[in-house]
Amino acid sequence: MKRSSPFAALVLVAVSGQVLAQETVLRYMSWDPAQLEIEGPAIEEFETAHNVTVETQALPPDDYWPRLSALAAAGDLPDVFAMSSGFVAEWAEAGNLANLGEQMEGVDLNAYYGAAIEAGMVDGEPYAFPQNWVAPVLYYNKDAFDAAGVDYPSDDWTWDDFLNAAKALTIDENGDGEPEQWGYYFYGRYAHTDGWIFRNGGRLINAEETALEPTQEAVNALEFLVGLVSEHTVAPQPQSLEGVRQQDVFPLGMAAMWVDGTWNIDNTRQVAGDSFAWGIAPIPMGPDATPETAVTYAWADMMSIAETSEQKDLAWQFIQHMVGEGRTPADFPGGKVPAYKAIAETESWLEEGLQPDNKGLILELGAQPTYTGFSKNWSAWRGYAAAGSGGMNGEIDEVLNGRKSLDEAIDAFVAYGNDVLSR
């Protein structure tokens, strides 16, 4: 396996009057350099089994999407590349992704999580295949709960239970108005807020995915979150923690609760170490929801084949190797759930003896009704990755930082989002 090398094409070379074919090269691009290192042995196994060289490149998400877009514009996409559930629709519509229907014939889809498979479908056709899936959960500091005499979050927690806990967990020992420990931490980030909306039965986009039309349940959820900062002061203004990586606030002990994706389990372990005990819980169901309307926010990290690839069958064999039997539980650290059930539903993946001690909760969430909220141009209207803190993300942050009202922010991100969706 060649790593981080410039992409090369399969060419024919004339040597002493003879035409010799160079080795077959399959090009693969990832958005996670650390994950690519983990994938190394599996890629080498594929190379040996298929007598092929897999040329790889990995960039972090903020750099990955602009680079991948540039390659698409130049007609030079790699054969296989990482694809976000949030981008599948627009990339398929642009003609960049191969339809995988023919390749998927004969594949036992029951061996994979159904919601993860669905995330790669556009108008009923498959354009991406899941490698793993993730979901936002409520991280909580057990030591802080114990010190405050608060019961740990339970499956039947209400938003009032959450708020009361956040109040008890906000500690300002010297009374200077700057708590040493906040009860909760969040900002306008999709993984921080949208799970609350969906657990309240709310939606941001219409059923046809053509326009932003926040439901009243969605607005109520945003009002609740904003009130945590402006009314109850149990969460900080995002601007007050500038300079601290958002994924480090909870493991550094600066906040006793936090909602974000299960992939952050790995970072939380590394940063928190043994400084405190912690666990995970579902985002509480909202007051406007019923068990039927409160869904789990979850999505898949996927792999796609370029429509321009001249090696689609080989590329598909590579994808199947990288998402299925070619992998081990150790290849999916922390809270990334293998889309292939046989790997996910093992004692090894549960990592007994490591925090959190209830990692099986993630599998329970995956068995419940799930929803992604993604649409064409989701990254732009939501404010994700290369879109930075624009769109809905930026507008919610303006409210949390005290510079706009929630009504003004909603009007602004809806107008912007519908302009984006109309393009």
Q: What is the pLDDT of residue 333?
A: 83
Residue span(s) of the chain under CATH 3.40.190.10 come to 12-134+300-366, 136-297+377-421
Question: Which residues contact residue 258 at a Cβ distance below 8 angstroms, ignoring those fewer than 6 apart?
Answer: 138, 139, 184, 185, 186, 249, 250
CB 307 within 8 A of CB 315: no
CB 377 within 8 A of CB 421: yes
Q: What is the pLDDT of residue 38?
A: 94
**Greatest C-alpha distance within the chain:** 85
b/e burial code for range 335-346 (CB count within 10 A of at least 16 → b)? bbbbbbbebbee
Q: What is the pLDDT of residue 423?
A: 86
Cα angle value 252/256/259 (rounded, 5°): 95
What pLDDT digit, counting tens, does each position of 104-151 carry?
998 999 999 999 999 999 999 999 999 999 999 999 999 999 999 999
Superfamily of domain 136-297+377-421: Periplasmic binding protein-like II (3.40.190.10)
The total of other beta-carbon atoms located within 10 Å of residue 310's CB is 10
Superfamily of domain 12-134+300-366: Periplasmic binding protein-like II (3.40.190.10)
Q: Which among 309, 360, 311 has a CA at the least distance from the CA of 337? A: 360
3-state secondary structure labels for all residues of 154-180: CCCCCHHHHHHHHHHHCECCCCCCCCC
Q: What is the pLDDT of residue 28?
A: 98
d(CA 323, CA 241): 38
CB 373 within 8 A of CB 397: no
Mean pLDDT by 10 residues, the chain (423 residues): 48 40 87 94 96 97 93 98 94 97 95 95 96 98 98 97 98 93 97 98 96 98 98 98 96 98 96 98 98 96 98 98 93 93 94 95 94 92 71 96 98 96 91
